[in-house]
Structure 1
Amino acid sequence: MRVWLHEWRLLARTPLAALALLLLLALSSLAVGSGAREVVRQQRTLERLAPLQQQDLAAQLAKPLARGDAGAAAYYGQHPTSSPPSDTAFLAGGLRDNAPLLLRVRALALQSQLHEGESFNPELALTGRFDWAFVLVYLAPLVLVALLYDLVSGERRAGRLGMLLALPGAGARLWLRRAGLRAALVLLCLLLPVAAGAVALGTPPAALTTAVASSVAYVAFWTGLSMLVGARGRSPAAHATALMGCWVLLTLVLPTLAQAALTRALPAPQGVELALAQREQVHGAWDLPREETMARFFASHPQWQDTAPLPAGFHWKWYFAFQQLGDEAVAADVQAWRTTLLARQRWTERLGWLLPGVGVQAALHRQAATDLQALLAQQDAVAAFHQRLRGYFYPHLFADKPFDANAIGALPRFAAVPPATQGWGPSLAALAVLAALALVVGGLATRRLQA
């Protein structure tokens, strides 16, 4: 214990070390606090809007109900769906900004409604979100570099390295102890705010497993890399430059190049392009013969083919038939779009097996349910509810089932499904392997130190 206290006193005498740790603690606290406030805001917004949405829906259905007009009720009724944040969403915002917190859907064509939430300022989205994951991936390595770059070369420049190496039992244990103390302090600055945020939000301790394990592994990787570079017989400035080059390469250059390569190799349209294609199909149906539209609809929905013939003029069942056909016309494109995005996601996760920063983000976003899989799962939940909504109204439209107060009571309601947070194991395991390898190589490099 006295040895550790001695090392702590030596570290505390370094103004740069204390400043770097305090800055990291402040930034980590700011990121956690910002994320926690955003989660609380979203939760309160959903709680406040839930009764208002139901009142609004009741007002929208009042006139159609009085007339017994199921078609008007299906057209005007806007049914709320929600996407509540997960327990650890305050740590990694991910793609939550790309999806609406609350989306109201009607029994019309679905794709144009799903992607209405993609209207965001691209200049604001370009900078990304400042969250705890950002602090861990991009800022924590810089603090470790500041603490470790001259761990050995500083002693060599001061003329103490030869004496330290001559001390009994110094060897690699001395450098591992010093590096371990600095790494532990960095972890403390990262995880103390996380613990405070979890207590404030009531997050279960088990939900923080990924955040803690990712932090330990990522800090261990950069500690081992810093020891490896610092063990070379160069000046502190050379070591700092080399470590900064590693940071730029591993966190900025290689991930950006890999992402550009994936986008080029696996091109996919934007969601709004699918919505526009679906709208073109729907709008074009106004110019087609109604009998042709109904024949196409009955071909894919034979259960309604015994409906009465269309009367002269407008009829709701024809309108909702070509709304359904609009979705079916782009179904193959939507499936191809989803397949391409998921393929990109899988390759990104594989990239994380080699680039620790990418692996950390993949694990944290999966645990927080803020990644692409969570976004698509929410769309699936909305699509399933939309299918139930259509299934509710179609008997009233095609089989002339009475539309009255009893029918209103049977309207389906969206139930938010707890987001799935599994699947981070491979990314975390690969990160642990990289960390262990870096520590072993860095520890072995310290054994060959020379004054």
Structure 2
Amino acid sequence: MSRLSAELRLILRSRMGVGSLLLLLLLSSLAVWSGIAQMERQRETIARVSGEQRRDFAGVAATHGKPDGDAGYAAYYSFLLTHDAPPPLAFAAIGQRDIQPFVLRVRALGLQQQLYDAEAINAELALPGVFDWAFVLVYLAPLIIIALMHDLVTGEREGGRLRLLLSLPGQGLWRRRIGLRYALVLFALAVPFAVGAIVTHAPVAGTAAMLLVAALYLAFWAGCALLVGTAMRASASAAAALIGCWILLTLVVPTLASAAIARAIPAAKGIDLTLAQREIVHHGWDIAKQDTFERFFLNHPEWRGREGFEGRFHWKWLFAMHQVGDEAVARDVAAYRASLIARERWSERVGYLLPGVAAQGALHRIADTDPFGQFAYQDRIAAFHDRLRHFFYPYLFTDRPFTRADFARMPTFAPRLPSGAVPAAPLLALAVVAALLLSAGSRRVARISGADRA
């Protein structure tokens, strides 16, 4: 214990060491605070929109909820709210929540033109990413590891103390030095995160899984610093080499891999699906109404024989036209989803070789803020929209009056259940890579120790 205390005192006497750890603690705390504040703003937005939605819906019901009310007007003007509240751990790994909609109002018209219409964002605003705890862990914490560990051996050699240190009795000198620095960095990251998890009432299992990801990722960089640091003769060379590794492993190679995946797996944009659906709906105004109904009856045969109406317009024709538009782009929607899932799976495979990619992907999956969380929300919206359509069809196709009481019977949206999970494969890959680097670095230290003793 005295040896560990002595090593801790040495670190505390180093201005760079103390400054680096305090800076990491500050950045981690700011990231947690920023994440909690951003998630709270999203909750406030949901609450505010919910209040406005209730007032808007009450106004529609008062206007169109008459004893002989027309269901077409009710279906056309009734926007119903869907929302996806932030999961408890979203503050630490915001993921897709800063660029994807978490509140969407839908009505019984075509789903695709509503689902992806909110996808249009400023790509330049999304480029820098988001400052959260995951960002601090993946991009900034390795720099602190490098600052604390790059000169463990070379610094002692340059100061003429290496032979003296190796001659001291006892074993485990380098394990203590590396282990203590590693623990301090992990502590500076873990404490603010743990406080944030307590404040947000995050589940214990998810919190522990995120800390495990952090521990494995930092272990990888500790092993990297040990291996590269012992391979150099000068501290400056070791620092430069480690910075080069950081640039390659966290910036250059992941960017190239992402570009390669995007090129190999092309994917349309959601707004393209919206435009395709709208073109089909607009074309419906130029063709015979019976042609539209025939396509509609392919999946809704129960309403065949009730398509007739007098005049040039009827609401059931409009809603059938929109549903035909959705069904016409169904294959394109499935292909779009499949391409996004394929990209995500290949990104996970890239993480087997790039620890930063693995760590970030694992954190987003645990926090339920990755694309799969967004897919789950979209699936929930689609199921709700399906219930909404089928609620109105009996009124539209039988010309049943839609009264004030019928507004109260309209379907309501039920939020999705959390779908976060602990990805075993990326964590295993991260653990294996970290163990290999630490083992190789330890063997390298043992050889250097033997050579310097001789």
TM over 0.5: yes
Give the match for residue 441 of structure 1: 440
- Displacement, 1:60? 1.8
Give 1:23's aligned amino acid.
L
Distance (whole Å) between structure 1 residues aligned to residue 233 and residue 61 of structure 2: 77
Give the match for residue 65 of structure 2: 65
Distance (whole Å) between structure 2 residues aligned to residue 322 and residue 423 of structure 1: 43
Runs of 4+ in 1 over 6 A off after TM superposition: none
- Displacement, 1:432? 1.4
Distance (whole Å) between structure 2 residues aligned to residue 412 and residue 314 of structure 1: 26
Query: What is the CA RMSD across the aligned residues, in angstroms?
Result: 1.3
Give the match for residue 74 of structure 1: 75
Give the match for residue 315 of structure 1: 314
Give the match for residue 134 of structure 1: 135
- Displacement, 1:6? 0.2
Give 1:7's aligned amino acid.
E
Alignment deviations for residues 89-126 of structure 1 (CA, whole Å, 9 cap, x no partner):
00011111222221100111111111122232222111
8 Å CA contact retained: 2:250, 2:356: yes
Alignment deviations for residues 42-83 of structure 1 (CA, whole Å, 9 cap, x no partner):
223323432331221121232222241100111110000001
Give the match for residue 41 of structure 2: 41
Distance (whole Å) between structure 1 residues aligned to residue 118 and residue 233 of structure 2: 53
After TM superposition, the structure 1 = structure 2 runs for residues 134-173 of structure 1, keeping only pairs within 5 Å, are 134-170=135-171, 173=172
Structure 1 unaligned segments of length 5 or more: list them. Answer: none
8 Å CA contact retained: 1:87, 1:207: no
Give the match for residue 52 of structure 1: 52
Distance (whole Å) between structure 2 residues aligned to residue 131 and residue 233 of structure 1: 34
Distance (whole Å) between structure 1 residues aligned to residue 267 and residue 441 of structure 2: 42
Classify the secondary structure of the residue corresponding to 1:434: helix
Give the match for residue 410 of structure 2: 411
Identify which range, 269-278 or 225-234, moves more after superposition: 225-234
Q: 1:223 to 1:334 in 2, by over 3 A?
A: same
1:294 aligns with 2:293: yes
- Displacement, 1:426? 1.8
8 Å CA contact retained: 1:224, 1:435: yes
Give the match for residue 2 of structure 1: 2
Give 2:31's aligned amino acid.
A
Give the match for residue 189 of structure 1: 188
Distance (whole Å) between structure 2 residues aligned to residue 359 and residue 393 of structure 1: 46
8 Å CA contact retained: 1:61, 1:76: no
Classify the secondary structure of the residue corresponding to 2:368: coil
- The two structures have a TM-score, normalised by structure 1, of 0.97
After TM superposition, the structure 1 = structure 2 runs for residues 14-413 of structure 1, keeping only pairs within 5 Å, are 14-66=14-66, 67-170=68-171, 173-413=172-412
Classify the secondary structure of the residue corresponding to 1:34: helix
- Displacement, 1:29? 0.5
8 Å CA contact retained: 1:100, 1:117: yes
Classify the secondary structure of the residue corresponding to 1:81: strand
8 Å CA contact retained: 1:210, 1:363: no
Classify the secondary structure of the residue corresponding to 1:448: helix
Identity of aligned residues (%): 51
Classify the secondary structure of the residue corresponding to 2:241: helix
Give 2:251's aligned amino acid.
L
Give 1:209's aligned amino acid.
A
Identify which range, 192-201 or 180-189, moves more after superposition: 192-201
8 Å CA contact retained: 1:92, 1:131: yes
Give 1:400's aligned amino acid.
D
Distance (whole Å) between structure 2 residues aligned to residue 56 and residue 257 of structure 1: 48
8 Å CA contact retained: 1:32, 1:131: yes
Give 1:189's aligned amino acid.
A
Give 1:346's aligned amino acid.
R
8 Å CA contact retained: 2:95, 2:369: yes
Give 2:52's aligned amino acid.
L
Classify the secondary structure of the residue corresponding to 1:427: helix
Give 1:201's aligned amino acid.
T
Classify the secondary structure of the residue corresponding to 1:89: helix
Distance (whole Å) between structure 1 residues aligned to residue 203 and residue 344 of structure 2: 28
Give 2:117's aligned amino acid.
E
- Displacement, 1:205? 2.5
8 Å CA contact retained: 1:277, 1:330: yes
Give 1:106's aligned amino acid.
R
- Displacement, 1:308? 4.8
Classify the secondary structure of the residue corresponding to 1:234: coil
Alignment deviations for residues 339-375 of structure 1 (CA, whole Å, 9 cap, x no partner):
0110111111111111110010111000111111111
Give 2:290's aligned amino acid.
E
Distance (whole Å) between structure 1 residues aligned to residue 121 and residue 92 of structure 2: 22
Alignment deviations for residues 311-355 of structure 1 (CA, whole Å, 9 cap, x no partner):
121100111111000101110000001001101111111111111
Give 1:81's aligned amino acid.
T
Distance (whole Å) between structure 2 residues aligned to residue 308 and residue 21 of structure 1: 72
Distance (whole Å) between structure 2 residues aligned to residue 191 and residue 42 of structure 1: 25
8 Å CA contact retained: 1:20, 1:146: yes
Identify which range, 80-89 or 224-233, moves more after superposition: 224-233
Identify which range, 147-156 or 418-427, moves more after superposition: 418-427
Classify the secondary structure of the residue corresponding to 1:88: helix
1:424 aligns with 2:431: no
Q: How many residues align?
A: 449
Distance (whole Å) between structure 2 residues aligned to residue 201 and residue 419 of structure 1: 15
Distance (whole Å) between structure 2 residues aligned to residue 99 and residue 399 of structure 1: 39
Classify the secondary structure of the residue corresponding to 2:91: coil
Give 1:140's aligned amino acid.
A
Classify the secondary structure of the residue corresponding to 1:95: helix
Distance (whole Å) between structure 2 residues aligned to residue 134 and residue 50 of structure 1: 32
Classify the secondary structure of the residue corresponding to 1:46: helix
